[in-house]
A and B are shown apart, each in its own frame.
Chain A
Amino acid sequence: MSNAFDFPGGIYPPERKQRSNQSALIEAPLPSRVTLPLQQHSGQPATPCVAQGDTVKVGSVIAKREGMVSSALHASISGTVGEVSTTQISIDGDGQDAWLRLPPLEWQYAEPHALLERLNESGIVGLGGAGFPAHIKARVVERHTIDTLVINAAECEPYITADDLTLRHYANEVLEGAQITAKLCGAQHIVIGIEDNKPEAIDALKQALTNSQPVPVELTVIATRYPSGGERQLIKKLLDLNVPSGGLPADVGVLCHNPGTLLAILHAVRDGQPLVSRTVTLTGEAITQPGNRWVRLGTSVRELLEQTGLNTSELHQVIQGGPMMGTPLLTLDTPVTKLTNCLIAATLEELPPPPAESPCIRCGECESVCPVALLPQQLHWYARAQDDAKLERYHLFDCIECGACSYVCPSHIPLVVDYREAKSRIRLQRIEATKAEHAKHRFEFRQARLAREEAEKQARKQARQAQQRRPSNTAATNSEKVDLRGLRIAHAAAKASVKKAEKTLARVAQEDPKQSLDDLEMQLATAQENLKAAELQLAQAREQQSSEESS
């Protein structure tokens, strides 16, 4: 079932998935204490709504959504709220595991807005690692027509097997979750993309495929190659569609979800169970019982690894996520969050640090593996030189940070580290730049408001004068020449600029829902003030002219 569409580049790192995919997916022991960070998703952190000493059940809301792009947080064990800080909430368990569930919903009959609200109140975020709130993602239909829902089960990074095991155990449930999501976004097709190194999951999916209703589901098995699980890469490979630079999959009518997220959506809708646990791959040479576990959010990484036979003397580093895109943990006393898909307890021999960096010899190997067809070595050159204009011209912001270039670099240059630094530096500059722009627009708005007030004052004054003057019928006003034509042009221009501001605002809001619209709102308000002033002046001039004519 191979297909002709493909993305450029790619690498074949050792898979090392056998270590964790040999045993069944089981529940990790219930933790006695959990620590839940307020930010386990992209966007704004949640706001705590419990206090120290409160009794909570599994599923009680402990922090609320803050702003549009944010997500609610629930207690993952029953017990007493310990500490509530600005960054996290801890809960001491009572060992009861008492649940507080929402009423079940029949998704076939439920209203879309009820389903959407359920995702919102269940705190569902993308479990593939990015953590984008699912209810915001579902609302994409307000601006785009979605044709296809892609289930991203490629899981191309070495070591990770969480999606693989999820599909082996819950293929039917994942597809049902996909049907719910398809209903929400109006998708006509569901396509599963999965790498050919997961035969058991593929078999399970084939079984489940036939029962899945009502949207037809298609299974596409793709060759194993990193990074085929990148959203853009997978969409290119499955559907031969190019997601535009800076755009979203929705721009080409596609919505992408990870199997774990779809399962969580089903649990939230069918069982009324909010997101309080997730599957985590526990692997690496430094633990003796690797495998996948259902882990309650907030469980300590140290506790979890110790339960699976952590060999501390062998341990070199623990990596959260995969070896290509994950991050090494600085301390093991950190909780499992909604974003933790994999923990690798690696020995030194397993993932040795790269040898010392040597100069780039421009061999071009990085270019041949880049899945976005960028020129990584040119970017490296300009990133080191901090030449931001060149970086943007060479499309730094199209880099997906997959690490393929770093993997093959014969000079062992940490290319992705350079790109990340450059990106955050440029982002910071952009924020600074817009700050100045914003201040300028605020000033313009104030000027426009004052001008409008002045025009109003003039209008009132003239009206008063006209009232006093009319009986006496004086010819004094004749000397004032009224430039009616100029005012009419100014009025038309002001009207056009209001239209333009409205259009810009609508377009930007549609293109990038994450963008702050304050500044554009301000520009629109300024244009509206200008229009009002122009209208007043024109009306005033017309009045004057007609009074002259009548006299």
Chain B
Amino acid sequence: MSMMHASGVKDAMTTTAVPPTASLMRWVIAATLPGIATMSYFFGLGVISNVLLAAAFGVALEAAVLRLRQRPIRVALDDSSALLTGVLLGTSLPPASPWWLIGVGMIAAIVVAKQLYGGLGHNPFNPAMVGYALLLVSFPTYMTLWAPPQEMLPNDLWAQITGTLPTTQLDSLSGATPLDAFKHKGNAVLASEFWAANPLPNGTLTAWQWVALAWLAGGGVLMAKRIISWHIPIAMLGSLVLLATLFYLSAPSHFASPLFHLLTGATLFGAFFIATDPVSAATSQRGKLIYGAGIGALVIIIRTFGGYPDAVAFAVLLMNLCVPLLDLYSVPQPTGQQKASPGKPGEQP
């Protein structure tokens, strides 16, 4: 009948408790700020417009669906989870994405992936990644439009956001991401030759590495504050580095180095901000380790052998699919129980 609650005591000698759900979400949002700031520094204000638009769509759509479902709107909005989904999807999209693209992505994320499954705590898939995956397969032209590092205020920013820029001009804006370029270097080209040819616009690789480090900083804060547990990020990065190293050692001229995999694309962002979404992740600690390791392995496999240059969204969604099974087979053994696997029937006394 616990009358004492961690959030209600101020005199605890050792604070081990996590903050309440709502402030948990806000902490995660706050931890994205270094990443967003660094991205904006390198890729312009289009990053911020993405985030703001997606967040606004997120809150508006959540409120609208809650109204249709006749659920209390205020309480649900207060938990900031829709805001967080918006921020995460916004940062995943190419800078200065048109408003309608963001809108379609957020409808998939909030309405379909989250609310249609019952709202916060009930969605089997990571909402932001459902939105991202839908956009990636439906609008590949727009989703691969990563501009090279540029001015804070690009010339066509407004036209891009409003979607009024002629399609002919879109291509001229685009520059390959490091993962993109490496993916399409062709089998005949050796890795050393590829790098020697200076394949990327100036400063691209540096920009991506700085952004990755900014995500690492934000994620480190979340782990230190015990907002996220270490299991998923460490397992994911561990298996990713391990697999990348194995490939790299087997044929260094053919495969990318583990460091390249770690510091480009969405690896660190995904490890700390996407894979750690507790709702769609495995629940037990052992399950989380398997879940994280699975994501890391899938990222490398899809990046190396699959059709897409980056793979965090697909890897997370695929592992989301495995969560019910992981939960069933990763139940810890309660003290005093001889054996414990609820997956195996007929062991009850």
Contact = CB atoms under 8 A, between A and B. Distances in A.
A and B from one complex:
yes
Interface of A: 7-8, 11-16, 158, 232, 236, 242-247, 317, 319, 323-328, 346, 351-356, 358-365, 367-369, 371-375, 377-378, 390, 392-395, 398, 403, 406-412, 414, 416-417
A375 B331 CA distance: 7
Nearest to B327: A378
B288 interface: yes
B11 A16 contact: yes
A250 to B, nearest CB: 14
B326 to A, nearest CB: 12
Contact of B3 (A14, A328, A373, A374): A328
A13 B20 contact: no
A403 B2 contact: yes
Given A16-B11, A351-B4, A244 B283 contact: no
A236 B336 CA distance: 10
Contact of A364 (B7, B9, B24, B283): B283
B39 to A, nearest CB: 27
Given A12-B16, A324-B2, A367-B283, A236 B335 contact: yes
Contact of B8 (A325, A351, A390): A351
25 contacts: A11-B16, A242-B336, A243-B336, A323-B3, A323-B4, A324-B4, A326-B1, A358-B22, A359-B121, A360-B121, A361-B121, A362-B279, A363-B18, A364-B278, A364-B284, A364-B288, A372-B334, A373-B334, A373-B335, A392-B348, A406-B5, A407-B4, A407-B6, A408-B17, A410-B7
B229 A364 contact: yes
A444 to B, nearest CB: 24
Contacts, number: 171
B14 A12 contact: yes
A273 B197 CA distance: 96
Nearest to B17: A408
Contacts of A364: 229, 278, 283-285, 288
A228 B285 CA distance: 22
Contact of B24 (A352, A369, A410): A410
A359 B12 contact: no
A403 B334 contact: no
B180 interface: no
A479 to B, nearest CB: 52
Interface centre among B122, B283, B348 (most CB of A within 10 A): B283
A361 B120 contact: yes
B5 A328 contact: no
A161 B122 CA distance: 43
A319 B3 contact: yes
Interface of B: 1-9, 11-14, 16-22, 24, 75, 79, 81, 119-122, 229, 278-279, 281, 283-285, 288, 327, 331-338, 340, 342, 345, 348-349
Contacts of A8: 335
Contacts of B12: 12-14
Contacts of B19: 410
B252 to A, nearest CB: 39
Nearest to B81: A361
Contact of A14 (B13, B79, B333): B13
Given A398-B335, A398-B337, 15 more contacts: A13-B9, A158-B4, A232-B335, A245-B338, A328-B1, A354-B5, A359-B122, A361-B21, A372-B336, A390-B342, A395-B334, A403-B2, A410-B20, A410-B21, A412-B7
B224 to A, nearest CB: 16
A472 B23 CA distance: 104
B7 A362 contact: no
- Listed from nearest, the 3 A-B pairs whose CB atoms lie closest are A403-B2, A359-B121, A393-B342
Nearest to A369: B16
B2 A406 contact: yes
A352 B17 CA distance: 17
B331 A394 contact: yes
Contacts of B332: 367, 373-375
A393 B333 CA distance: 12
B4 to A, nearest CB: 4
A355 to B, nearest CB: 7
Contacts of B1: 325-328, 403, 416-417
A325 B1 CA distance: 6
Nearest to B340: A395
Contacts of B81: 361
